[in-house]
Amino acid sequence: MQYPEPIARLIDSYTKLPGIGIKSATRLAIHTMEMAEQDVTGFAQALISVKRDLHFCSICGNFTETDPCAICADPDRDQSTIIVVEEVKDLMAIENAGEYRGLYHVLHGVLSPLNGKGPDDINIDTLVKRLQSHDEIEEIIVATNANAEGEATAMYLSRLLKPAGIRVSRLATGLSVGSDIDYADQITLIKAVEGRTLL
């Protein structure tokens, strides 16, 4: 016996989310059907709005409703330092720690030869252009995750940018190997930025 078409379609939609298999998707779809109509409408509107109203900042790659984003557009931020992160959630983690006052650049991924991801597949090109057009940038702090791909990406950026006279550093090793930036607690993140090491 098959679920009626609307439920089957919703189950199919939920399986497109990361970590959601067919069983979880079925549970979520049935739960959705049992929710109050206004909650479901709100949910659907939030889904549409995240695609319609949010864009990538053309400078740093952050999610934003305005372009450039609020961080790039803030003249009070330290324009000499850029922290390079894998994903927007890492930017949010460092930003929420509350100490760092420089700028960011979001790669939207890492170098991963095994998965066929090279420099052209992540947001490196705009970083290079950014450095070429902004003399005031002195240091790039690479805050990719502490795993093999994160390290490889840091080394690649170091080799690419150092010849241009940019200081390239890496977050201190307070972050344990294999750990994700966005799971680190705020004190650890602040210390990791303060105690960064030159590459």
Closest distance to Zn ion from the beta carbon of 128 (Å):
16
Smallest gap from residue 71 Cβ to Zn ion (A): 5
Half-sphere exposure of 186 (CA within 13 A, CB side): 7
Stretch that binds Zn ion, among 22-30, 63-71, 120-128, 140-148 (CB under 5 A): 63-71
Query: With CB under 5 A as the contact rule, which of the stretches 12-20, 21-29, 60-68, 139-147 interacts with Zn ion?
Result: 60-68
Q: Report angle CA 51, 93, 65 to the nearest 5 degrees.
A: 30
Residue in 11, 59, 93, 107 binding Zn ion, rule: CB under 5 A: 59
CA distance 82 to 169: 10
Could you tell me if 8 and 2 are in contact, meaning their C-beta atoms sit under 8 angstroms apart?
A: yes
Count residues binding Zn ion (CB under 5 A). Answer: 7
Rg of the chain over all Cα atoms, to the nearest angstrom: 20
Q: How far is the CB of 105 from Zn ion (least distance, A)?
A: 8
Residue of 57, 93, 142, 168 that binds Zn ion (CB under 5 A): 57
CB of 68 to Zn ion, least distance (A): 5
Q: How many CB atoms lie within 10 A of CB 162?
A: 14
Q: How many residues does the chain have?
A: 199
What element of type H or E holds 150?
helix 148-161
Cα torsion angle, 159, 133, 198, 107, sign: negative
Q: Is 60 in the site for Zn ion (CB under 5 A)?
A: yes
CB of 148 to Zn ion, least distance (A): 28
Q: Which of 10, 11, 25, 72 binds Zn ion (CB under 5 A)?
A: 72
Residue pair 123/107 in contact by the 8 Å Cβ criterion: yes
> Of the two residues 65 and 185, which places its CB atom closer to Zn ion in the complex?
65
Angle, CA 120 vertex, CA 87 and CA 95 arms, to 5°: 20
Smallest distance from the beta carbon of 172 to Zn ion, in angstroms?
25
Q: 11, 25, 69, 146: which one contacts Zn ion (CB under 5 A)?
A: 69
| Closer residue to Zn ion in complex, CB, 124/146 | 124
Residues forming the site for Zn ion (CB under 5 A): 57, 59-60, 62, 68-69, 72
